[in-house]
Amino acid sequence: MNNICVFCGSSTGNGPEFASAARRLGKLIAKQNKTLIYGGGNIGLMGIVADTVMKEGGSVIGVIPDFLLKREVGHLGLTELIVVKSMHERKQKMASLADAFIAMPGGFGTLEEVAEIVTWVQLEIIHKPVALLNVEGYFDHLLAQLDVMASNGFTSKKHRTILKSAHTPDALLDLLLIGSDPHSDESPYLKRT
């Protein structure tokens, strides 16, 4: 696994723990010589992760739609900034570049991105691990909803295990780096923290 895609908020949220987790994740990505793939913005948690990876000597590839770049939220100090025409093209490009996906706290855009990637894994369009960085329990209700979906038969128990989670960047990267087949019964991705 060389390229890690991070989905996260264009805001920093209301507590310092979110920015702190973003900085820690950025440091770990750089330290492990991984390339960050992300949405190309210079604001919010996404800007913090990217800035930290760059500050620590790592590589960052941003993918941003031209209309967002025109709003002056594009990060011009990256290793590479890829400008695309639409949000859909952005997700496709990030998915093609990434070997694994992490969702940090964010809003509707973050939820939409991670839901689409999980669906692609479920449909076997891609075979890449997907995980939530569950900072301070931010995704607890989402994880509970996934359990409700499985218990009511709207997703299988096998597919429920696609989306993993951990509470800290260190634990999450350990989880992602252990193995790479999210469909294997022997996969370490079946462990939830």
**Non-local CB neighbours of 57 within 8 Å, separated by 6+ positions:** 30
Residue 189 lies in a domain: no
Residue 70 lies in a domain: yes
How long is the chain? 193
**Non-local CB neighbours of 167 within 8 Å, separated by 6+ positions:** 133, 134, 135, 136, 137, 193
Domain span at 96: 7-175
pTM reported for the whole predicted model: 0.90
Residue 193 lies in a domain: no
Residue 38 lies in a domain: yes
Residue 24 to residue 102: CA distance in whole angstroms: 14
Reported as a single tens digit per residue, the pLDDT across 98-132 is: 999 999 999 999 999 999 999 999 999 999 999 99
Residue 101 lies in a domain: yes
Reported as a single tens digit per residue, the pLDDT across 44-62 is: 999 999 999 999 999 999 9
Give me the tens of pLDDT residue by residue for the chain, a chain 193 residues long: 899 999 999 999 999 999 999 999 999 999 999 999 999 999 999 999 999 999 999 999 999 999 999 887 899 999 999 999 999 999 999 999 999 999 999 999 999 999 999 999 999 999 999 999 999 999 999 999 999 999 999 999 999 999 999 999 999 999 887 744 444 444 333 333 3
Residue 42 lies in a domain: yes
Residue 180 lies in a domain: no
**CATH number, domain at 59?**
3.40.50.450
- Please count the structural domains in the chain: 1
Residue 190 lies in a domain: no
